[in-house]
Structure 1
């Protein structure tokens, strides 16, 4: 076994509820700032999300996490917030569209990036992973927790998922966004096993839901950037 440096992973700080936390995340080098429009303790109104995201920041992309909104409502909100990425964390279909069809429609209608979320339980990716990857070019992997859409702090079985993720990548190019239970203490291990392009953290850098701990944000960024991939 050898260890080799990998390309620096990009970092998304999600579940932001305060403008000062968004500013600090940017200062620490986050590539994505995320707000939640999908329910839960970090839920924001569109106006509050606009305030948190603030003005356009050079080199930083704006992400909103959607739940059960219709495709048309998602488009309207994406325009209002000047989003770069629409992250879909809700049901698998809306208005008769399958999940894959909805992703394609949003991508084509807005010209924006769409990140469909796969809520994973166990060591196998859901059967629609390849079709979603081909359509969106990206996938968010998060833990499946009954009754909750995300931000649960529950980690995936990174080691168990490695073979399934490798098979997906051999089938189609995909930007892998890894979420679910990441913290400064474990993000390097997760990167080493699954080699995501983006790591997505929310509860793992908080002192309370939606309130980020500046020190833990800094620790997370440093740990992610210092990670290495273990190669056979």
Structure 2
């Protein structure tokens, strides 16, 4: 009888030991995989792998309980973790695809530049050479005007200070020749006879004056004045107008 009781105790002790070994084996599943072992994520689960082979029901149950709540392994290629990551990456990629793309070439190509048409120059564009000054122009302040060379020279004490092209009256209204003096000046004069503008007018013989002519600037010598001396360079006549004084001499000669 005592011998039978002893045998039972030994068997019970052996059973407890077997359970402990099984429990210990279940805990070891959570340790890091050894070299050459299959990665946990390769089995398609976010939990640690549990062996589903042959064994007692209690052993399998213990493995499932131990695996529950265990922090999953890092994603491996082909695992579900990797799939979710790639899904997030593809979503980000789709979002990025809707963003405006940077230009392929760093240098932007513009349409060819169309040059603006050049400003219309006075006709003719060249300035006539000065003629030989009349001997009456060699002293004092003189507007020395030559019909032969179609030029006006502003001379002070025998030296040419400024020069410009001029145009005279036609044969029906010729410009008078001789020695005169500037009677008066009118900056924005308008003819009372022809009702035309005569800017920078410097009168020297009755109604005849030296002044700027827009017609002379546009048509050149194709036209003529009504007896006045026309200047086509507006800047030059404006500067001359500031220099000439009332009483300065005017000499018109051939």
Taking structure 1 as the reference length, what is the TM-score of the superposition?
0.20
Taking structure 2 as the reference length, what is the TM-score of the superposition?
0.19
Q: Which has the higher contact order (CA 8 A, sep 6+)?
A: 1
